[in-house]
Amino acid sequence: MLDYQAKKDLLQRKIILVTGAGDGIGRTAATTFAAYGATVILLGRTQHKLELVYDDIMAQGSPEPVIMPLDLATATPDDYQHLADLIAVQFGQLDGLLHNASLLGTLTPLEQLPITTLEQLLKVNVMAQLALTQPLLPLLRRAPAASILFTSSSVGRKGRAYWGAYAISKFATEGMMQVLADECDGSTVRSNSINPGATRTAMRASAYPAEDPLTLRTAEQLMPLYLYLMGDDSRHENGQQFSAQPKP
Ligand code: NDP
């Protein structure tokens, strides 16, 4: 599916929420989904970045997006319920949910990993995903076919030294995806995970500061798989782990 060619109207009339939509892969996914017809809900913690994405989407002539500023590190269950209520009033359903926002943290041996650091990472990378998914599930069930896409990593599929809290959080993400997929099996809601692979973003640069970013794929190059998994051509996929780049 890495060379999937989406029809221009693939996501027409779909409502898709993207977390971490202000930067990196989330930003590109949001503008791409909009370009294929979706009304995108832009969730992120930095309002001015979301406004820039809003401007890009309007400039490309796509459906008007919605900006939802929310910091996943501090959001409460009430905040998530409020968000779901707003979506219910404005749209009545949700067709897609891309869990994309994540923190990297610092790379360190597990022996020295402060437990507070692990807690902070799990809050954003894992607990926020569940807390957001819970009140959105009734809205996802109202869509004819809904896709929940979790963002994993190579270190969420095979542990690697020093990737500590981030790797633990990505394994938890894979586990959550599989449990949810099994619970929703046979329904109209599907869950899958995607490993973007090394991609030219701020997160990658902070993990590999000496690397030449020009050697990496851009977020745009990953989009065929993101489109496949958000569109109806992937209706039959549930509980699967995908990789957005060919194995090196
Ligand atoms: P970036 O750091 O470039 O972007 C992450 C986005 O998430 C930013 O917009 C950021 O907001 C947002 N975000 C972070 N914390 C919060 C929070 N507490 N509340 C709301 N939003 C938040 O990351 P990438 O685009 O590189 O990564 C996207 C996903 O892909 C992540 O899940 C990452 O783990 C995964 N991934 C990336 C790889 C890569 O090589 N880039 C490889 C493998 C996996 P703000 O802009 O305000 O900081």
- Give the CA distances from residue 202 to residues 70, 107, 155, 169, 193, in Å, rounded to whole numbers and listed in that order: 20, 15, 18, 19, 21
Could you tell me how many helices (H) and strands (E) the chain has, helices first?
A: 8, 7
164 CB near ligand 1 (under 6 Å): no
Return the best residue to mutate from 40, 102, 166 for the ligand 1 pocket (most ligand atoms within 8 A of CB): 102
Residues forming a β-bridge with 218:
none
pLDDT value at residue 246: 85
100 CB near ligand 1 (under 6 Å): yes
| ipTM of the shown complex | 0.99
- Sign of the CA dihedral with 105 first, then 98, 28, and 92 last: negative
Atom of ligand 1 nearest to the CA of 19: 21
- Give the CA distances from residue 216 to residues 129, 211, 222, 243, 247, in Å, rounded to whole numbers and listed in that order: 27, 9, 11, 15, 14
Exactly one of 36, 54, 80, 166 is catalytic; which is it? 166
Strands 15-19 and 96-99: parallel
Domain at 15-119+143-243: CATH code: 3.40.50.720
- Cα 238 to averaged position of ligand 1 atoms, centre (Å): 24
Catalytic: 166?
Answer: yes
- Give the CA distances from residue 173 to residues 1, 34, 152, 193, 239, in Å, rounded to whole numbers and listed in that order: 22, 26, 7, 8, 12
Q: Which residues of 188-224 are buried (b: 16+ CB within 10 A; e: fewer)?
A: ebbbbbbbbbbbbbebbeebeeeeeeeebeebebbbb
Return the best residue to mutate from 107, 203, 206, 242 for the ligand 1 pocket (most ligand atoms within 8 A of CB): 203
pLDDT value at residue 1: 80
Total residue count of the chain as it appears in this document = 248
Atom of ligand 1 nearest to the CA of 49: 46
- Cα 100 to averaged position of ligand 1 atoms, centre (Å): 6
Residue 95 near residue 146 (C-beta atoms within 8 A): yes
- Cα 180 to averaged position of ligand 1 atoms, centre (Å): 22
Strands 241-243 and 96-99: unpaired
- Tens of pLDDT along the chain (248 residues)? 889 999 999 999 999 999 999 999 999 999 999 999 999 999 999 999 999 999 999 999 999 999 999 999 999 999 999 999 999 999 999 999 999 999 999 999 999 999 999 999 999 999 999 999 999 999 999 999 999 999 999 999 999 999 999 999 999 999 999 999 999 999 999 999 999 999 999 999 999 999 999 999 999 999 999 999 999 999 999 999 999 988 76
| Sequence-distant (≥ 6) Cβ neighbours of residue 121 within 8 angstroms | 103, 105, 165, 166, 168, 169
132 CB near ligand 1 (under 6 Å): no
DSSP letters of 6-44?
--TTTTTT-EEEEETTTSHHHHHHHHHHHHTT-EEEEEE
- Sign of the CA dihedral with 125 first, then 126, 127, and 131 last: positive
- Cα 239 to averaged position of ligand 1 atoms, centre (Å): 22
pLDDT value at residue 247: 77
- Cα 42 to averaged position of ligand 1 atoms, centre (Å): 13
Query: In this structure, how many other beta carbons lie within 10 angstroms of the beta carbon of residue 182?
Result: 11
